[in-house]
Amino acid sequence: AQTVTQSQPEMSVQEAETVTLSCTYDTSESDYYLFWYKQPPSRQMILVIRQEAYKQQNATENRFSVNFQKAAKSFSLKISDSQLGDAAMYFCAYKSGLEDFGNEKLTFGTGTRLTIIP
């Protein structure tokens, strides 16, 4: 079974600075997807970024980028120019590429609570 580990329960960053959240995972599969989700106090889980394992290029979405190290099974999230609205719980998630579409099962880490210091 796959596992996802987020070793930083809490992180804080000064507004406008850069912060990196860590995630490692364990799998024997070669085809899979990785995600970062954000859960603000409103509780809505919002997709931040997605990475396909077969892609060597790291995904980027505006101020959010990942450092995907497949051999090391590491998937960190970098947030640049941190803003107050970035304060939230951040969850790393894994999805096998072997399952049929429409029957996706996401495996989540325990999350990292990010605080933005004004």
Partner 1 sequence: ETGVTQTPRHLVMGMTNKKSLKCEQHLGHNAMYWYKQSAKKPLELMFVYNFKEQTENNSVPSRFSPECPNSSHLFLHLHTLQPEDSALYLCASSPGSPEQYFGPGTRLTVT
- For partner 1, the binding residues (CB under 8 A) are 4, 33, 35, 37, 42-47, 50, 91, 95, 101-111
Q: Measured from the CB of residue 17, what is the shortest distance to partner 1 in angstroms? A: 27
Cβ nearer to partner 1, comparing 18 with 110? 110
Q: Measured from the CB of residue 41, what is the shortest distance to partner 1 in angstroms? A: 11
Cβ nearer to partner 1, comparing 62 with 110? 110
For the record, the structure tokens of 23 come out as 């995630």
CA atoms within 13 A on the CB side of 18: 9
For the record, the structure tokens of 95 come out as 């999805």
Q: Measured from the CB of residue 10, what is the shortest distance to partner 1 in angstroms? A: 12
Cβ nearer to partner 1, comparing 102 with 118? 102
User: Is the four-CA dihedral 56, 52, 74, 27 of positive or negative sign?
Assistant: negative
- Gap between the Cα atoms of 61 and 117, Å rounded: 23
